[in-house]
């Protein structure tokens, strides 16, 4: 069913559906439930992230990246316990729960960005094609493993658009720096948006779709 059919479901039911994500027969329903959950709470989470980031001297791009990570963290750990809700309103308590993720993620970002010089300069490369593994100096076993993974990733990306491919390859290229808490600088994001003809919000959607599809294919075809 399209995720819009779940827009009127209670938050409690959406959380329950999301928790079914590891059960193959309910995988798609869990994904639709998460989309409905995201669109229900994303505006308030993004707004709050921008407020707390601005107080710490960070721009909207950093805030929006943290908001995105909040939902990724919830999807990975959907452990909300309504019994601990003091006001009885599950939507209000859920926002408080998500705001805790945001504060923790901002703290991690501050720690990373102050202890290590920012590696991004704004002239980062937009990656449009797969890396040439044959030209890389790698141990044969590692190269063979990567080639096998690349074939699976290519197969997954064939089910999506060229924009998904570019977004996936670009974010994957700088995965280490992004995981350290750094975010792409504004000049690069603007260049990426113009190259793709997408807003930053749309890029986030495409990015999630691409990474989700690749994770799905790696789980299915990577275990042989």
The answer to whether residue 120 is domain-embedded is no
Contact 212, 164 (CB under 8 A): no
Contact 78, 13 (CB under 8 A): no
Q: Which domain holds residue 63?
A: 3-115
- Chain Cα centroid distance, residue 62: 13
The answer to whether residue 143 is domain-embedded is yes
The answer to whether residue 91 is domain-embedded is yes
Residues 15, 100: one domain? yes
d(CA 85, CA 96): 9
Q: What is the pTM of this model?
A: 0.56
- Looking up residue 148, the CATH number of its domain turns out to be 1.10.10
Residues 20, 76: one domain? yes
Among candidate residues 59, 81, 115, the one where a domain is terminated: 115
Model pLDDT for residues 69-115, shown as the tens digit of each residue: 999 989 888 888 877 777 778 899 999 999 988 988 888 888 777 76
Residue 149: per-residue pLDDT? 84
The answer to whether residue 122 is domain-embedded is no
Residue 206: per-residue pLDDT? 92
Residue 179: per-residue pLDDT? 80
Q: Who's near 150: CB < 8 A, 6+ residues apart?
A: 130, 133
Domain count, the chain: 2
Residues 137, 196: one domain? yes
Residues 149, 102: one domain? no
Residue 166: per-residue pLDDT? 95
Among candidate residues 115, 148, 163, the one where a domain is terminated: 115
Among candidate residues 58, 84, 115, the one where a domain is terminated: 115
| C-alpha triplet 9, 96, 56: angle, nearest 5° | 130
Residues 107, 139: one domain? no
Dihedral sign for Cα atoms in the order 106, 182, 63, 22: negative
């Amino acid at each position: 069913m399209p995720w819009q059919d779940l827009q009127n479901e209670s938050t409690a039911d959406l959380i329950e559906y999301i928790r079914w994500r590891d059960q193959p027969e309910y995988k798609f329903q869990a994904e639709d439930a998460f989309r409905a959950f995201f669109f229900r709470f994303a505006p308030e989470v993004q707004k709050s992230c921008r407020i707390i980031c601005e107080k710490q001297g960070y721009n909207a791009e950093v805030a929006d990246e943290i908001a995105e990570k909040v939902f990724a963290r919830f999807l990975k750990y959907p452990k909300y316990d309504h019994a601990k809700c003091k006001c009885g309103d599950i939507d209000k308590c859920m926002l408080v729960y998500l705001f805790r993720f945001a504060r923790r993620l901002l703290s991690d970002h501050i720690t990373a960005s102050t202890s290590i010089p920012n590696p991004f300069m704004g002239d980062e490369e937009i990656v449009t094609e797969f890396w040439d593994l044959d030209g890389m100096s790698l141990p044969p076993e590692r190269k063979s493993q990567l080639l096998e993974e690349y074939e699976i990733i290519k197969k997954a990306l064939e089910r999506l658009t060229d924009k998904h491919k570019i977004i996936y390859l670009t974010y994957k290229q700088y995965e280490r720096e992004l995981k350290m808490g750094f975010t792409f600088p504004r000049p690069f994001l603007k260049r990426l948006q113009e190259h793709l003809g997408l807003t930053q919000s749309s890029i986030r959607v495409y990015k999630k779709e691409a990474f989700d599809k690749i994770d799905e294919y790696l789980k299915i075809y990577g275990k042989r």
